[in-house]
Amino acid sequence: MTLTIPAGMPQYDDAPRFDVEKVRADFPIFGRAVNGQPLVYLDSANTSQKPQQVIDALAVHYALHNANVSRSVHTLGTEATEAYEDARAKIANFVGAPSPDEIVFVKNSSEAINLVAYAFSPRSEDDRFRIGPGDEIVISEMEHHSNIVPWQMLAERTGATLRWFGVTDQGRLDLSNLDELVNERTKIVSIVHMSNILGTVNATSRITKRAHEVGALMMLDASQSVPHLPMDVVAYDVDFIAFTGHKMLGPTGIGCLWGRGELLNAMPPFLGGGSMIETVTMEKTTYAAAPARFEAGTPPIAEAIALGAAVDYLTNLGMDAVLWHEKELTAYALDALVTVPGLKIYGPQIPVGRGGTISFSLGDIHPHDVGQILDADGVQVRVGHHCAKPTCARFGVPAMTRASFYVYTTTEEIDALVRGLEKVRKVFG
């Protein structure tokens, strides 16, 4: 298909691209209808759809290679272990990690962030993780609850103080008080890289530089950015990133924590059990090196292998092409949505420094009503506070409607959204 790029946006003939219709052919779900209408899926920031290649990776593992990992010397156990560790290596390469041992498999970004928060304690033997009254934790007002609640819990159990960056009217982080907010009392700064509600892609270099100047650790919630743009953890110079498989064409129940190897090995285990040990006696246990020390018990083996298949799929498309496709879609959508009377977009109004996630309100029509009428026409969007209630409060609304795009999204689907919103306006007068 051919995209019509809005006036004023650069048109690069040599920009990396892929054939969207060929991509869609890999996704079985696009062959179905919803409420008698063709499926228009605009909720990828919530969870992405899965290509047949990922579905097959799950099925083939269970059908032909099913066994536990790191426990057996028999053929099936060896095959499962090799496939599991091969997936770890693919993912490490995908995010530019220097070593596969810096990738910890978890079940989602929430667990990854909790794992890092758990490492902080008043009793820590490592000063970088020792925290108590007088120390500070810095987040922002645009965080997903997964990057708010763990830090609130840490502050409550240690007496540390939680502080945060504000958000400007344009949906950007307010860094005007950066040097005051991130100071010698700061132990960790943890911010979202791409907002799940505003679509903002936060510039992190100034924050990271300041955090390291004062001896603080720096973490990015990259749940929305790793699926949508090239990631190189070395270039970003952060200490930890969290991301999740189900938003990047992979299955649910699998996510990743990347951390600097030296930091991971300085952190205490998050859970105790099999596989995370070095040796066990009745009197004492010593722990394995990372990543094993954080992967107690039987891990999500098939899910990790399928996430490796998802990484293969995205790598074959090319993340530069994924980024460019979504930049064009976002420009098209922003241009189209402003034609809807009464519609207000929250977050950046231009396709620069933002991703393909657009949240909006439509007059005084409740987002749940908007979502129900769109669903009747097969258009799937998310409504509510998007696990970002403080962001909604910042903009004075209880909820928003959100459309979000991915590699399989087309301009025709955005047109269907606009037609649906016109229908909403007619229904509610």
Query: Can you tell me the distance from the alpha carbon of 297 to that of 249, in angstroms, rounded to the nearest whole number?
Result: 25
Residue 12 has a CB neighbour count (10 Å cut-off) of: 11
Locate 147 and state its tokens.
Answer: 């990057």
The three-point CA angle 248-252-258 to 5° equals 60
Residue 424 has a CB neighbour count (10 Å cut-off) of: 23
Active-site option among 3, 387, 397, 418: 387
Residue type, 341: P
Q: H/E element holding 24? A: helix 20-24
Annotated catalytic, 387?
Answer: yes
Q: Are 200 and 349 in contact (CB under 8 A)?
A: no
**For the chain, how long is the longest CA-to-CA vector?**
73
Query: Can you tell me the distance from the alpha carbon of 401 to that of 253, in angstroms, rounded to the nearest whole number?
Result: 26
Q: Are 359 and 383 in contact (CB under 8 A)?
A: no
Query: Can you tell me the distance from the alpha carbon of 107 to that of 245, in angstroms, rounded to the nearest whole number?
Result: 9
Q: Are 231 and 95 in contact (CB under 8 A)?
A: yes
Query: Can you tell me the distance from the alpha carbon of 257 to that of 115, in angstroms, rounded to the nearest whole number?
Result: 9
Query: Which residues form the catalytic set?
Result: 387
